[in-house]
Amino acid sequence: MELNVYKLDGSQSSEKVTLPSDIFEVEPNQHLIYMAVRTYLSNQRQGTAKTKQRAEVRGGGKKPFRQKGTGGARRGTNRSPLMPGGGNIHGPKPHTYKLGLPKKAARLARKSALSMKAKENQIMIVEDFSFDAPKTSQLNNILKALKLDSTKTLLLLGGKNDNVYKSGRNMPKCSVIISDLAATYELLDNKMIVMQKSAVDSLCKSLS
């Protein structure tokens, strides 16, 4: 598969990039995609939710009312889950939600996601660029020139570039990440994938 390389002003250059078929033209494995997305989302959870049980809430030292003669159910403590201000029954406790996925399965899931995007013509290659300082307006101007300023876009960088990364950090419809770190969920969660020319090589190397 060959794609044209676009300039930063939105015009199409004469240069083309060949995308390897073993990465961008594989048969998508829907189950592996599901597993990769589930693993990613589960690993984002903090797992710190906690409610107090009857042994942890304040109070409860004195019997609320006498055992017999009131006509109501007997009570030995006001910490009972049935009482206002009582403990919680089977509430959440802090625990880890971390899941794992075999490396081979994770690679195939990413290949499947990239192949789906390539088939739907949702991958664009741009020439490499960098900024002297973090500047959101500069990155926004590039996306405007590419007619992607109103489209949810994932920008894949060829390597570490703090100024470009920080420029897109507060843009609601643009995510910036180094290409070999992009997860399956991030590839599918964005409508368009914009790759720097150098990002193609680093991405292919990480998936080979």
Averaged pLDDT for residues 76-87 = 90
Identify the sign of the CA torsion 10, 149, 200, 119.
Answer: negative
Name the token pair of 22.
Answer: 């073993």
How do residues 63-75 score in pLDDT, each as one tens digit? 988 999 999 999 8
Number of H helices, E strands in the chain: 7, 6
Q: Where are the domains of the chain?
A: 2-29+102-207
Please determine, for residue 22, whether its predicted confidence score (pLDDT) is greater than 90.
yes
Please state, as a whole number, how many other Cβ atoms lie within 10 Å of the Cβ of residue 100: 9
CATH of domain 2-29+102-207: 3.40.1370.10
At 208, the pLDDT band (50, 70, 90 cuts) reads confident
What is the distance between the alpha carbons of residues 108 and 23, in angstroms, rounded to a whole number?
A: 9
Mean per-residue pLDDT of the chain: 93
List CB contacts of 181: < 8 A, sequence separation 6 or more.
none
Q: How far apart are CA 82 and CA 108, in angstroms?
A: 51
Q: What count of other Cβ atoms lies within 10 Å of the Cβ of residue 172?
A: 6
Q: How confident is the model at residue 59, as a pLDDT?
A: 85
Distance CA 112, CA 134 (A): 33
* Residue 142: per-residue pLDDT: 94
Q: Which residues pair with 192 in a beta bridge?
A: 153
CA distance 101 to 83: 45
- Distance between CA atoms of residues 13 and 146, nearest Å: 13
Report percent pLDDT > 70 for the chain: 100
For residue 174, which amino acid is it? C
